[in-house]
Each structure stands twice: as C-alpha cells, then as structure tokens.
C-alpha cells in the first residue's frame, strides 16, 4: 500500500494525468469559438497551475498555524517546502499567462485585478525567503516565517475572488457556483489536468519535505560531531 502512495508512484500518476489532459485539451476539446481561438487551449495547463499554486500557499498557511500551536520542525519543513513550490508554480503561471495574453489579447501584461493581485502574491512569498535568510536562530526563524505565511495568505483569497468582486478585466469567471462555463469535453480535459497538477504538487511536496528532513538530520549530526 505504501508503494502506491510513494513519491515515485505519485509522480507516475501525475505524469499520466498531465499527458492525458494535454492530449484531451488539444485533440478532444473543441477550439474555443471566441476571438481567442486555438490559443485558448493553454487554459488546460495555465488554470490548473494557478489553482495548484494557491493550494500550495494554502498548505503553507495550515502548516504555519500548526507550527505556532505545536512548534515541531516537521511543520516548518512543510511550510517552507509549500511556499517554495507555490512560488515556483506562480512563476509558471505568470509565464504561461503572458504567453496566452500575447496570443489572445496582443498584450503581455495588463494591470487588471487578477494579474495585479497575483503579482502581489509572488512578491509577498518571495519576501518570505528573505525573512528566513535574515533570521539566523532556528526557532525564531521558523516562528517569524510561520507568522509571515499566515499574513501573506490574506492575499490568496483576494486573488481567487478578484474577478468576481472587482471590476471586470481580461479574466472571465469561467467556473461559478451554478455553472462550469465549459462544455463536457472541455470540462473533462480541465479536470484531468487539474488532478494531474495537484498530484504533481503532492509528489513534489513529499520529495521536498523528505529532502529537508534529511538536510536537518545531517546538520544535526555535524553539530554533534563538532561538539
């Protein structure tokens, strides 16, 4: 059973789903009837990457709360890995979004609600790593980082709901409480890509947390030997 949910197995599941989502998005889902046309197909990767980035920041938020309640290194490691992966996914979101924007709207960037709030998210979580660098003492660093992760998370729901409560921009509200905004083949492609991207995040988190734990154990061993 453990082998079925191990990091290598999760990577394999994620890879299979992402390839399936790519093939369905480009060959099964119809070309968008709007002015975006074929360029809309990047949606099947761009949107899942964006949602996964926000999920990663949500995991960091939960890990921060757990650390403040129970200051164990495992929660700090989880929060650190989640923010790092969330920021990586965020950069991929920005890159794919700019490519899509140029193809669909002939604009690499626009100061519209979702883009602006997402950019702020990137800056906030980049500052998280600066904070960790300037605080040397381990427990204080973990505590300050946890508090910062909680505060920074405030902008995540703002980003998610930006297109619903702020003036309309380039991003339409595709999925609502009553409608997916997509026909069956398009929604299937999106869901499979989303599942694959989420599993990829879980696999990366497991591998990253394990690597951080190993680094901590090696550092502790070196300290003991030196002492």
Output Rg (C-alpha) for the chain, integer angstroms: 20
The per-residue pLDDT for 135 is: 87
Q: Mind listing the domains of the chain with CATH numbers?
A: 12-168+201-226 (1.20.120)
The ranges of the chain with pLDDT < 70 are 1-5, 30, 32-40, 162-184, 227
| Cβ neighbours for 77, distance < 8 A, ≥ 6 positions apart | 209, 212, 213, 216
pLDDT (tens digit, 9 = 90+) per residue, 165-182?
555 555 555 555 455 556
E strand residue ranges, 75-135: none
**Per-residue model confidence as pLDDT tens digits over 108-140:** 777 777 778 888 888 999 999 999 999 888 889
b/e code 29-59 from CB counts within 10 Å (16+ = b): beebeeebeebbbbbbbbbbbbbbbbbbbeb
pLDDT given for residue 62 in this prediction: 96
Distance of CA 73 to the CA centre of its chain: 22
The torsion defined by the Cα of 18, 23, 28 and 32, in degrees rounded to 10, comes to 80
pTM to 2 decimals? 0.84
């Amino acid at each position: 059973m453990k082998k079925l949910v191990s990091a290598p197995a999760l990577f394999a599941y994620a890879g299979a789903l992402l390839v399936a989502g790519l093939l369905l998005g480009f060959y099964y889902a119809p070309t968008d009837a709007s002015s975006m046309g074929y360029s809309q197909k990047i949606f099947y990767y761009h949107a899942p990457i964006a949602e996964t980035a926000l999920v990663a920041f949500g995991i960091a938020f939960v890990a921060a709360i757990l650390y403040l309640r129970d200051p164990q290194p495992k929660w700090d490691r989880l929060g650190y890995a989640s923010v790092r992966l969330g920021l990586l996914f965020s950069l991929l979101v920005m890159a794919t979004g700019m490519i899509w924007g140029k193809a669909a709207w002939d604009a690499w960037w626009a100061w519209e609600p979702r883009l602006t709030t997402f950019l702020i998210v990137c800056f906030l979580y980049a500052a998280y790593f600066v904070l960790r660098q300037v605080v040397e003492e381990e427990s204080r660093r973990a505590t300050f980082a946890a508090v910062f992760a909680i505060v920074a998370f405030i902008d995540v729901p703002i980003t998610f709901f930006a297109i619903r409560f702020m003036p309309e921009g380039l991003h339409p509200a595709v999925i609502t409480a009553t409608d997916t905004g997509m026909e069956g083949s398009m929604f299937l492609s999106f869901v499979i890509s989303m599942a694959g991207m989420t599993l990829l995040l879980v696999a990366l988190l497991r591998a990253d947390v394990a690597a951080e734990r190993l680094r901590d154990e090696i550092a502790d061993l070196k300290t003991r030997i030196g002492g």
